[in-house]
């Protein structure tokens, strides 16, 4: 139960108040302090979403149990758990790494040569002081402003563990930049934030990994992600959500692609008790393209809600979304997606597909693939399906000597394979396969 002396709004998270915002802003430059306070005002004015809102129709905010978590103190010390360090330092190729533990960034590493080329990988609060000319125009402005919604405003006011990546014009980073976000205990709320700016002609793959032990009680991660790809840049953004039990995951993500830019995203939801991801791709420059991939795999009482948006502002752009989910036990999957083609976005190609496998009698899925089209010279389509494993495929594999359980695993793998094979990051794909495998077993 929430402490009755604390004001109920916003969202009854203990310690989410103006003082907390002020405390976080204490070392911020003036513009950022103003921005945080502005976000706080929006947060106070925005009512908590209810299932009466179309976009929250299938996810009751009560599932997040906001009253049972408290805003984590920023920069609190404490030993970095060995598990977190292991994950951070795991033998994975990376051009740069960041480790977040609870509400603070504890480690940052960047390849020296890249640093010389002008690449910046930094704690977001530090970057806001040292590189204001880069951060100020992009932070909570056009991508995920406070007006995006209640939780975006909450993050905008209270963000703590922030990561900033800047890739200068023409710089191509061959290995991925990896961020590991770790939670040590239940009962806390953290507000991670990511800002990626890829200048014209640059290339980077940015992989965020969310993990923690299983908890008995709730914890909350309420994040925001902003990714900008300038003209001709090639950017992949991957979010691999493998929180332990008990964690509630909220994430607002927005990508903005300029002329001829390529901006692909992959959102994977395997962990957490409840995950709600809002992911928008805005194609602002002609020739921009975006592959939006998603994969969710639920067990027990897990609840995953995806709210995607393909915003075609410019002509001659292309977006292709594929979200696939498999649900066991009483798991509940929601996909709501919209392709919005604005009046001037002629010659748009936009596609959207959502496929669901219900693997247990009590699993359920909702799929709402929407289209809003205001230009005529377009090619748009969407498809959605909900069904069981293909019995013929299972039967075939079993005639080849596989046990039912193994045959099922293979078919599920094949089902997800279609998503994974579209991600041009072989190393990351291997890790994902292992994570899915671990979950099936």
Partner 1 sequence: MPYDPTVAQLGLDEYKYGFRDPEHAVFKAPKGLSEEVVRQISAAKGEPEWMLKFRLKALKIFQSKPMPTWGGDLSDLEATLNDLYYYVKPTERMERSWDQVPETIKRTFERLGIPEAERKILAGLGAQYESEMVYHSLKGEWEKQGVIFESIEDGLRKYPDLFREYFATVVPPGDNKFAALNSAVWSGGSFVYIPKGVKVEVPLQAYFRVNIERLGQFERTLIIADEGSEAHYIEGCTAPTYSTDSFHSGVIEIIVKRGARFRYTTIQNWSHNMYNLVTQRALVHEDATMEWVDGNLGSKLTMKYPSCYLVGKGAHGEILSIAYAGPGQHQDTGGKVVHAAPYTTSQIISKSISKGGGRASYRGLCKVYEGAHHAKSNVECDALLLDEEARTDTYPYIEIEDNSAQVGHEASVSKIGEEQLFYLMSRGLSEDEAAAMVVRGFIEPVAKQLPLEYAVELNRLIELEMEGSVG
Beta strands per DSSP E along 260-417 = 262-269, 274-283, 289-298, 303-312, 318-327, 332-341, 348-358, 364-373, 378-387
Residue 117: CB minimum distance to partner 1, A: 44
Stretch that binds partner 1, among 80-88, 168-176, 192-200, 359-367 (CB under 8 A): 359-367
21 binds partner 1 (CB under 8 A): no
Contact between 310 and 279 (Cβ < 8 Å): no
382 binds partner 1 (CB under 8 A): yes
| Residue 137 structure tokens | 């125009």
Stretch that binds partner 1, among 97-105, 170-178, 194-202, 368-376 (CB under 8 A): 368-376
User: Which CB atom, from 147 or from 377, has the smaller least distance to partner 1?
Assistant: 377
Residue 54: CB minimum distance to partner 1, A: 7
Tokens 């991925």 belong to 176
Among 60, 174, 372, 421, binds partner 1 (CB under 8 A): 372
Among 37, 168, 346, 418, binds partner 1 (CB under 8 A): 346
Stretch that binds partner 1, among 71-79, 94-102, 193-201, 378-386 (CB under 8 A): 378-386
- For helices 30-45 and 150-158, give the axis angle rounded to 10 degrees: 150
Which residues are CB-neighbours of 102 under 8 A, at least 6 positions away? 72, 76, 78, 161, 182, 183, 184, 185, 188, 190
Contact between 57 and 396 (Cβ < 8 Å): no
Query: Residues 40-59 vs partner 1: string with x where CB under 8 A?
Result: --------------x-----
User: Which CB atom, from 178 or from 303, has the smaller least distance to partner 1?
Assistant: 303
Tell me phi and psi for residue 353, to 5 degrees. -135, 135
Residue 363: CB minimum distance to partner 1, A: 6
Tell me phi and psi for residue 408, to 5 degrees. -60, -45
Query: Residues 293-332 vs partner 1: string with x where CB under 8 A?
Result: ----------------------------------------
Stretch that binds partner 1, among 79-87, 171-179, 223-231, 353-361 (CB under 8 A): 353-361
Q: Distance between CA atoms of 404 and 408, rounded to whole angstroms?
A: 6
Residue 320: CB minimum distance to partner 1, A: 14
- For helices 150-158 and 18-25, give the axis angle rounded to 10 degrees: 50
400: left (phi over 0), alpha (psi -120 to 50) or beta: alpha
Among 4, 361, 401, 426, binds partner 1 (CB under 8 A): 361
Residue 360: CB minimum distance to partner 1, A: 6
18 binds partner 1 (CB under 8 A): no
Among 272, 358, 412, 425, binds partner 1 (CB under 8 A): 358
Distance of CA 56 to the CA centre of its chain: 17
User: Which CB atom, from 269 or from 367, has the smaller least distance to partner 1?
Assistant: 367
User: Which CB atom, from 368 or from 394, has the smaller least distance to partner 1?
Assistant: 368
Residue 344: CB minimum distance to partner 1, A: 9
Strand partners for 252: 224, 278
Among 373, 394, 410, 440, binds partner 1 (CB under 8 A): 373
What CA dihedral angle connects 306, 312, 317 and 321, to 10 degrees?
A: 10
| Residue 150 structure tokens | 């209640």
Count of residues interacting with partner 1 (CB under 8 A)? 35
Residue 362: CB minimum distance to partner 1, A: 8
Which of 367, 295, 298, 292 has its CA nearest to residue 334? 367
385 binds partner 1 (CB under 8 A): yes
Is residue 81 exposed (0-12), middle (13-18) or buried (19+ Cβ within 10 Å)? middle
Residue 339: CB minimum distance to partner 1, A: 9
380 binds partner 1 (CB under 8 A): yes
60 binds partner 1 (CB under 8 A): no
Q: Distance between CA atoms of 136 and 133, rounded to whole angstroms?
A: 6
User: Which CB atom, from 161 or from 358, has the smaller least distance to partner 1?
Assistant: 358
What are the residues binding partner 1 (CB under 8 A)?
54, 343, 346, 356, 358-388
């Amino acid at each position: 139960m929430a402490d009755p002396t604390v004001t109920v709004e916003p969202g009854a998270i203990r310690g989410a108040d103006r003082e907390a915002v002020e405390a976080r802003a204490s070392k911020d430059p003036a513009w950022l302090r103003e921005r945080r306070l502005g976000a706080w005002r929006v947060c106070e004015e925005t009512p908590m979403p209810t299932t009466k809102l179309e976009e929250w129709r299938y996810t009751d905010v009560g599932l997040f149990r906001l009253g049972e978590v408290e805003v984590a103190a920023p920069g609190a010390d404490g030993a970095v758990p060995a598990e977190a360090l292991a994950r951070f330092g795991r033998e994975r190729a990376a051009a740069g790494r960041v480790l977040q533990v609870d509400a603070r960034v504890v480690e940052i590493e960047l390849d020296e040569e890249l640093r010389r080329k002008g690449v910046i990988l930094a704690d977001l609060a530090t970057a806001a002081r040292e590189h204001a000319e880069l951060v100020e125009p992009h932070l909570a402005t056009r991508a995920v402003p406070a007006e995006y919604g209640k939780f975006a405003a909450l993050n905008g006011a209270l963000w703590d563990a922030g990561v900033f990546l800047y890739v200068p014009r023409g710089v191509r980073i061959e290995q991925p930049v990896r961020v590991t976000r770790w939670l040590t205990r239940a009962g806390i709320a953290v507000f991670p934030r990511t800002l990626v700016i890829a200048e014209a002609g640059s290339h980077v793959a940015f992989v965020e990994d969310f993990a923690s032990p299983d908890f008995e009680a709730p914890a909350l991660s309420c994040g925001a992600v902003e990714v900008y790809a300038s003209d001709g840049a090639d950017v992949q953004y991957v979010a691999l959500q493998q929180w332990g039990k008990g964690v509630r995951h909220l994430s607002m993500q927005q990508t903005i692609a300029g002329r001829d830019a390529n901006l692909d995203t992959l959102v994977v939801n395997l962990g957490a008790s409840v995950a709600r991801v809002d992911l928008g791709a805005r194609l602002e420059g002609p020739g921009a393209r975006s592959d939006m991939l998603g994969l969710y795999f639920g067990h027990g009482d897990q609840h995953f809600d995806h709210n995607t948006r393909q915003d075609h502002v410019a002509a001659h752009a292309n977006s292709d979304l594929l979200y696939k989910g498999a649900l066991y036990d009483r798991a509940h999957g929601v996909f709501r997606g919209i392709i919005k083609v604005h009046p001037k976005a002629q010659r748009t190609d936009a596609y959207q597909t959502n496929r669901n496998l219900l693997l247990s009698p009590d699993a359920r899925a909702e799929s709402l693939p929407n289209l809003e089209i205001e230009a005529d010279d377009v090619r748009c389509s969407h498809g959605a399906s909900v069904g069981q494993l293909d019995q013929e495929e299972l039967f075939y594999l079993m005639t080849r000597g596989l046990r039912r359980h193994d045959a099922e695993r293979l078919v599920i793998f094949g089902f997800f394979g279609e998503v994974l094979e579209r991600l041009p990051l072989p190393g990351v794909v291997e890790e994902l396969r292992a994570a899915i495998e671990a979950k099936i077993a």
